[in-house]
Amino acid sequence: MNELIESKLGPCPVVPLVVPSDPETAIRVARALLAGGLEVIEVVLRTDAAIECLAAVAESLPEAMIGAGTVLSREHARKAADAGARFIVSPGLHEAVVDESLARGLPVFPGVATATEAQAAWNLGLRTMKFFPASLAGGPAMLKALSSVFRDVKFMPTGGISAGNLADYLALPSVLACGGSWLTPGSAIAQGNYQEVTNLAAEAVVIAKKIRD
């Protein structure tokens, strides 16, 4: 189930977060990210228009892999799947979200911050997890510790990631990809400066290639 998204993340293991305000803006942001070389994009369910925006982006950019983030409940997962999400990301571990996502045939990445949470996710059969909030939960050092125990698990750290520390996370073999909102700064989007989004995406691609190549 995860093979497709992992193959997409192989060339550039970075997942930008899009916080949508309206469908047109969400599409423009997603296009700017795609132009910068990022094909896997997470539209977070943090606004009233999020589901509508997710559907619009998924329909407009079939060449990209569009997922839903901040999925908090079974109902969120159901609506995201119906809107065209191709993967599900949660800030924490909630079994109903996992069940609904797997029933829909969607990869799901629940958030974990401790060994207890990672063990619970592992016993649900999950081998890829979001590590959140990465910087506050111990950063690369904590990931190294978790990886020594959960040797067959891949992590997607998110929270406090930036161009300045991206390489530190991607240098860890257990890191599948890094997620972050630094690639979609609200001030630039409010000004209609989508070129800045493209530039930040391209910068992330360069950093990732230096580490992974």
Q: Could you give the number of structural domains in the chain? A: 1
pLDDT at res. 99: 98
Q: What is the pTM of this model?
A: 0.96
Check: CB of residue 45 under 8 Å from CB of residue 51.
Answer: yes
CA gap 110, 44 in Å, rounded: 14
Q: State the CATH number of the domain containing residue 191.
A: 3.20.20.70
CB distance 51 to 44 below 8 Å? no
Omega into 62 within 30° of 0, i.e. cis? no
From the list 42, 79, 117, 154, the catalytic residue is 42
Whether 130 is catalytic: yes
Q: Please report whether residue 85 resides in a domain.
A: yes
Q: What is the pLDDT of residue 71?
A: 98
Q: Give residue 103's domain range.
A: 12-203
Per-residue pLDDT tens digits of the chain, which is 213 residues long:
688 898 899 889 999 999 999 999 999 999 999 999 999 999 999 999 999 999 999 999 999 999 999 999 999 999 999 999 999 999 999 999 999 999 999 999 999 999 999 999 999 999 999 999 999 999 999 999 999 999 999 999 999 999 999 999 999 999 999 999 999 999 999 999 999 999 999 999 999 999 988
* Residue 52: closest CA among 43, 41, 61: 43
The verdict on residue 4 lying in a domain is no
Q: What is the pLDDT of residue 213?
A: 81
177 in a domain, yes or no? yes
Inter-residue long-range contacts of 87-90, CB under 8 Å, 24+ positions, other chains counted: 87/5, 89/42, 89/130, 89/156, 89/179, 90/130
Return the structure tokens found at 82. Answer: 């119906």
Q: How far apart are CA 64 and CA 114, in angstroms?
A: 32
Q: What is the pLDDT of residue 3?
A: 86
Q: Is residue 57 part of a domain?
A: yes
Question: Is 106 within a domain?
Answer: yes
Q: What is the pLDDT of residue 88?
A: 98
Q: What is the pLDDT of residue 11?
A: 86
pLDDT at 1: 63
| Residue 169 near residue 15 (C-beta atoms within 8 A) | no
Asked if residue 5 belongs to a domain, the reply is no
From 8, 100, 117, 130, the catalytic residue: 130
